[in-house]
Amino acid sequence: MLIILLFPALYIFMLRPLIKAQGLSARENLKRVTDSRDELDKETDERKKTQNEVQAKADELERDNRFFVGRDNQIKDQFRKLSHAIEQSTLSILITDVKGNIEYANPKLFDITGYTREEAIGKNAKIFSSGKTPPETYRSLWNNILSGKDWHGEFLNKKKNGELFWEHSTISPIKNEDGIITNFVAYKEDITKIRKLEEQFRQAQKMEAVGQLTGGIAHDFNNILTGIILNSELLKLKIDKDDPLRARVEQTVEQAIKAANLIQSLLAFSRKQTINLQYANLKDVITSTKRLLSRIIREDIELKINIPEKDLTILADEVQIEQVIINLATNARDAMPNGGVLTIEVSDMEIDDKFIDTYGFGKAGRYALITVTDTGIGMDEDTQKKIFEPFFTTKEVGKGTGLGLAMVYGLIKQHEGYIDLYSKPGNGATFKIYLPIEESQDEDLKPREQVVPKRGSETVLVAEDDEIIRKTTISILENYGYKIIEAVDGDDALEKFIKNKDRIKLIILDVIMPKKSGKDVYNTISNILPTVKVLFMSGYTGDVLQVKEITERGLHIISKPFTDKALLIKMREMLDR
Ligand SMILES: Nc1ncnc2c1ncn2[C@@H]1O[C@H](COP(=O)(O)OP(=O)(O)O)[C@@H](O)[C@H]1O
Ligand SMILES: [Mg+2]
């Protein structure tokens, strides 16, 4: 009982505090446990967080890494492409520092200039300058690029071997992040070939224009001279052999023929001269000029002629090809005042696409090539550009007319050929003439023999609007026994023909006449009488096409001014067929 009674007291006084004490520490313990649990949780959380963060960071790094590896590959790829583009570019590319010293150049640049990498790198880009590009070009270049702008322009530059070439350049400054120019880059293109073609085109246009002009003047003179020559010849026939006046007339004819020859060179240059194309063996043509050549050149000049065995058939006016050779030989002689060697060679060759590409002229096909070379004084480039122009001469007054090569030029053009020249001052000159080789041959164009004129008795219709030419032609023919019917224009010719068609054996028709052209008259007449024989007369061919058509149709044509002999021979030849 006491225990029972005591218990509460015990409890109150002893146990309770004890218990209480004990009770307190348990709670505390519990709290502590809880606390540490919390801490642990917190720590765990934090560690997790850190871990997550680390993971995120790692992921990020991984991503970055992947990105950078990718970027690196991309950059490498980009770099590879860019360097290929630059190294394999068909443009020359050059990078210099701000002073123009070469830091980089691509293979194309070495290819064109002939310098090696070792020779060029570190040198100033001035090594390419020829001294022939105007200083203004460089001034404008530097002004532009130093102020940060691009520049485009053309240089005449020099290769390592001294050869000049035209170059189109685009030059731009390269700037760093601060906008400061650190380098220049140049993109260059070799435009020498284009320049050459342009130059040739300009030259051809100029020649065409000059040709038109001279052709027009020559035409009028030609008609006047025809009148003078025919009249003088006629006068000569009327004057006694021992009359002193006869010599005067002969001199008039001689002078007029000289003038006519001069005019002929102008007509030849302007390609307004009618030419008589026939098949010719080039071997024979050159051989026959040999005799003439030995008269032109002096004794201190050695003449070498090199002709192949094989026949080279060209369609040519032999007299004119002879003229070409004589003109070239005369010039060669004049270029060798102290003697030398004149070589004339003939060969054949093919003009193909590669040739046309290289030289900038020509039409594909087989050609006979005549090469005329001398060992004379030669010519500089400026002279070479002008030599085919009429009246261009470097010879003193009275020695040169400046018409020789103009004529050569026109004649070769008229033969559908080409002429080219190579020369250096002090090193002689070589002229190359290309004439198309004719593979198939037409009987009608075979060469004819020249004979002395014979008299005739046939009736001939002469249609010519120019009174002087008509009257003199008629007089010559009458002197040789022919009976003449006279017509003053196209209509008149047609009318007289119809009236007298049974008697008329030959018709002489001027190509260009008022009312009806010679060609139109011919077309009508040949419908009425297809076997009719017609000889066209032509001087200046205002319409070259008409003459071309006439010759192509195998019709007969005689060019003014003609001598009485030429006319009479031609007529007999036609009448006797
Ligand atoms: N073989 C050559 N060597 C040097 N110069 C030449 C030669 N052929 C022509 N030339 C030059 O071309 C110019 C023109 O020639 P050309 O037309 O024949 O006229 P010309 O002989 O009357 O002067 C000559 O004056 C000369 O300067
Ligand atoms: Mg000459």
Which pLDDT score is estimated for 376?
96
Give the residue extent of every domain in the chain. 92-190, 278-444, 451-575
Ligand 1 pocket check for 166: Cβ under 6 Å = no
Under 8 Å between Cβ of 314 and 437: yes
Under 8 Å between Cβ of 405 and 268: no
> How many angstroms separate the CA atoms of 222 and 260, rounded?
7
Q: Name the CATH topology of 451-575.
A: Rossmann fold (3.40.50)
- Under 8 Å CB-to-CB from 418, ≥6 apart: which residues? 361, 362, 412, 433, 434
d(CA 523, ligand 2 centre) in Å: 43
Ligand nearest to the CA of 421: 1
> How many angstroms separate the CA atoms of 333 and 293, rounded?
10
Ligand 1 pocket check for 430: Cβ under 6 Å = no
Ligand nearest to the CA of 332: 1
Which pLDDT score is estimated for 447?
52
| pLDDT tens column, 191-235 | 998 888 888 788 778 877 888 888 878 888 888 888 888 888 888
Report how far apart, in Å, the C-alpha atoms of 217 and of each of 211, 263, 267, 321, 324 are.
Answer: 10, 9, 9, 24, 23
| pLDDT tens column, 22-51 | 555 667 777 777 777 778 788 888 888 888
Ligand 1 pocket check for 406: Cβ under 6 Å = yes
> How many angstroms separate the CA atoms of 91 and 85, rounded?
10
Mean pLDDT of 351-379: 91
Mean pLDDT of 116-129: 95
Most confident of 9-18, 109-118, 382-391, 494-503: 109-118
Which pLDDT score is estimated for 1?
47
Task: Return the residue whose CA atom lies nearest to atom 27 of ligand 1.
Answer: 394
9 — pLDDT class (breaks 50, 70, 90): low
Ligand 1 pocket check for 394: Cβ under 6 Å = yes
d(CA 395, ligand 1 centre) in Å: 8
444 — pLDDT class (breaks 50, 70, 90): low
- The overall longest dimension of the chain from CA atoms, in Å, is 205
DSSP 555: -
Q: Name the CATH topology of 278-444.
A: Heat Shock Protein 90 (3.30.565)
Task: Return the residue whose CA atom lies nearest to atom 8 of ligand 1.
Answer: 331
Mean pLDDT of 162-168: 94
> How many angstroms separate the CA atoms of 550 and 529, rounded?
18
Ligand 1 pocket check for 424: Cβ under 6 Å = no
Mean pLDDT of 381-406: 88
> How many angstroms separate the CA atoms of 279 and 88, rounded?
53
Q: Name the CATH topology of 92-190.
A: Beta-Lactamase (3.30.450)
Is residue 2's pLDDT more than 50? Answer: no
Q: Which atom of ligand 1 is nearest to the CA of 406?
A: 17
Ligand nearest to the CA of 387: 1
d(CA 376, ligand 1 centre) in Å: 11
d(CA 72, ligand 1 centre) in Å: 69
Ligand 1 pocket check for 328: Cβ under 6 Å = no
d(CA 404, ligand 2 centre) in Å: 4
